[in-house]
Each structure stands twice: as C-alpha cells, then as structure tokens.
Structure 1
Amino acid sequence: MTSNADFGTFGRFTETPTTEMPEDMKQAFDFTVKVRGLVPGPHKIWLANPRLSRTIVPTGAYYQTDSTLTKAEIEIATNVINGHWRAAYANYEHEKIGVEQGHLAPEQAAALIAGLPTAFDDPRRQVVYELACTLAEARHVPLGLYHRARDLLGDAGIVDVTTLMGWFTAVSLTLMAYDVPSDATGLDQ
C-alpha cells in the first residue's frame, strides 16, 4: 500500500525549487528553458542528473523544430510507443497534443494508444504507423515495409522514427519509474 509520503511534486519525484537548486542543476534547468521554452514532463525528473539532462534536451528539441517528420507523423509514432509502455502521463499528454493540435482524429489517437488498428489516408503517415507498430511489438521489419518506408521517408526519416521511439521509450520509462499520473503538473517554475 502506498501513502502520500510516497509521492512528491511530480508523481513520486520531488522537484527542487529553482531557488534551492545546486548550480549544475540550475544551469541544466536554464538550458532546458532556453532550448525548449519550458521544462516539460520528464525533463523535470531528468534535472536530477544535470549532465544527462543537458545532453538529452537537444534531442527532444530536434523533434520540435528540425525533424524530417511532420508533426502528425511524430504524434503517430509517439502515441504508438507511449501506448506500448502504458505511461499514463505520456499517453494523456500526447493524445491531447495529437488531437488538439489537429494532427490526429480522436479515434486515431485512441487506437494508437490502445494498440488497435487504424489507418491514414496519407501514405507517409500510414508507413510511419506501420513501422512504429512493427517496432513497438519487437517484430522484424519486413522487406516490403522497409522499401515503402525508405521510398516515402528516406533513410533520414526511418532514423527519425526509430530514434523518436527510443526517445519516447526513455520518456515513458522515466515517467513510469516515478509513477507520474496523467494529471500531474509539478511545480510552477
């Protein structure tokens, strides 16, 4: 049985107020704000390891601004892998992002998270969906799917999908380790 003593400010994690952060953590916090504009979800936790935080922040920022994938394609792969890991906070946030920003229809977002079949009219979105589902289930990517993905996304796009899924695996596992609920907000800083 858990008690309230088992929970901090963001799931089980207790954030350090910015006014009390050691210098290296404050630098990592400031770097995250500079690069991302805020300190989102798992970044709150990653600040506990400032050196890691400073190295991982640019990867997330890359998917916000420089990826070869569209925002819709990013949300497809993100919702597939978050659904696979069943991380409450990540699922809630990215279902909302996908739908509210118009990248996914509500029924598509729900299917992606639940592991149910769905389809996309756009061939690139469809191949991202199929590739992400295959990889999330630790299946071998068949040659036909690989050729379609390479033709539609190029090698850079395939690398973007696979690395994005690895990134959100780290996100999901971090959030799960700290039992972050879907409605967590953390400190306002």
Structure 2
Amino acid sequence: MTDDTDRLPPLPLDRLDADQRVAADELLNGPRKAVKGPFIALLRSPAVMTHAQRLGAALRFDSVLPQRLNEFATLIVARAYSQPFEWSVHRPLAVKAGVAEATVQAVAEGRRPTTMAEDEALVHDYTMELLRHHGVGDATYEAARTLLGERGVVELTTLIGYFAMVNGVLNVARTPPEPGVPPMPSLPA
C-alpha cells in the first residue's frame, strides 16, 4: 500500500525566509494569486520556483497555442503521470476552454479519444509520442509545424516538458488534489 501523506506540505507564510518570501510574493501578486500545487514543494528552492513559475506563466498565459489545446496537452501529461492535483486543476479549465467532456473522459481512462477535433488529435498524438519516445518523428513534427508554426511547436514541446517536471514534483511531494473536483480514475493494471 502506498502512503499518500503530503511529504512537502504548505509552509506558513510567516515562517518563510527572505528568499522564499520574495518568491511567494511574486506568485501571490501574479496571475496565479496563490502558492499552491507544485509551488508549495518548489518554495523549498525559491530560485528554482521563481524560474519555474515564470516559465509556466509564459506557457499558460502568453502562448500562441489556443487555450483549448494548451489545457488539453496539460491534461494528457497529467494523465500520463497519474497526477491528481494537476488533473483536478486543469480538467475544469480544459472543459471551460472547449475540450469536450467525452474527450476528457477518454483521456482520464487512458484511451485515445475518438471524437476529437483535428487539432486536438494532432496535439494528443504529438504529446503522447513525445512522452513515450522522448521525441517525435518527421511526420508528426511536420503536421505540428503546419498547424501550429515553429513557435507553436516550440511552445507545445516546452509545455509538455514543463508539465512533466511539474507532475514529477507533485508526485514526489504527494500533493493532494484540489478539493471538490472529481478524482481522476485509476488506470487498469
């Protein structure tokens, strides 16, 4: 049986050192408005947290990728890592951005969705290929470049890598999911 105790729980704001306080304040005053999720664990290394959150903010809030595709790729990575916190945060964001419930449910169950839009199918296949093979073949790359442009390919690839890092941190920290969101189903053994 796996112990699911939060290994790196939130640090009281009044007990942060000066570097942690600066890093926390940047999050509190930015688009996230809170120190939560991976940033709770990353706050133990304020410089890493600051750089990571800035990269994440650029990928989430300043990307050329449509929000729907951005959130969809994020869900695929969360599913690949079986990460409940990221799933609980990004599932409603993906649906709100226009990803169909049936598509989200298929990803939750570890299946390739059959009712995706063409651009979603490309993002799904690109993301899965990169996660499985640590690269993408020429046909996948060319399809992504045609649809998204070179900037979009770079941002999608970086988004996938960023969320792989975030999901790894969350899994090691055993960060619990956000309350009130349906859990991600377990994959069959």
Residue 179 (structure 1) aligns with = 174
The 8 Å contact of residues 122 and 144 in structure 2, kept in 1 or not, is answered as yes
The 8 Å contact of residues 38 and 175 in structure 2, kept in 1 or not, is answered as no
The 8 Å contact of residues 11 and 40 in structure 2, kept in 1 or not, is answered as no
Give me the TM-score of the superposition, normalised by structure 1. 0.84
Tell which deviates more after alignment, 57-66 or 18-27.
57-66
Give SS of 1:40's match. Answer: coil
1:18 maps to 2:13? yes
Percent sequence identity over aligned pairs: 25
**Root mean square deviation of aligned Cα:** 2.2
Deviations 1:12-56 (A, max 9, x none): 213221111111100110012223332231112111101111111
Q: 1:21, 1:74 → 2: CA distance? A: 33
Residue 88 (structure 1) aligns with = 84
Q: 1:31, 1:183 → 2: CA distance? A: 22
> What letter corresponds to residue 152 of structure 1 in structure 2?
L
Note the residue ranges of structure 2 that are not aligned, 5 or more in a row.
Answer: 181-189
Regions of 4+ moved over 3 Å: none
Q: Which of the numbers 86, 89, 103 marks the counterpart of 1:108? A: 103
Q: 2:94, 2:21 → 1: CA distance? A: 31
> What letter corresponds to residue 88 of structure 2 in structure 1?
Y
Q: Which of the numbers 38, 41, 47 marks the counterpart of 1:45? A: 41
Residue 79 (structure 1) aligns with = 75
The 8 Å contact of residues 9 and 40 in structure 2, kept in 1 or not, is answered as no
Give me the TM-score of the superposition, normalised by structure 2. 0.84
Q: Compared with structure 1, are the counterparts of its residues 139 and 57 closer, same or farther at alpha carbon in structure 2 (3 Å cutoff)? A: closer
Residue 138 (structure 1) aligns with = 133
> What letter corresponds to residue 14 of structure 2 in structure 1?
T
Give SS of 1:35's match. Answer: coil
Q: 1:16, 1:139 → 2: CA distance? A: 35
Q: Which of the numbers 162, 170, 176 marks the counterpart of 1:167? A: 162
Give SS of 1:137's match. Answer: helix
Q: 2:135, 2:166 → 1: CA distance? A: 24
The 8 Å contact of residues 37 and 175 in structure 2, kept in 1 or not, is answered as no
Residue 57 (structure 2) aligns with = 61
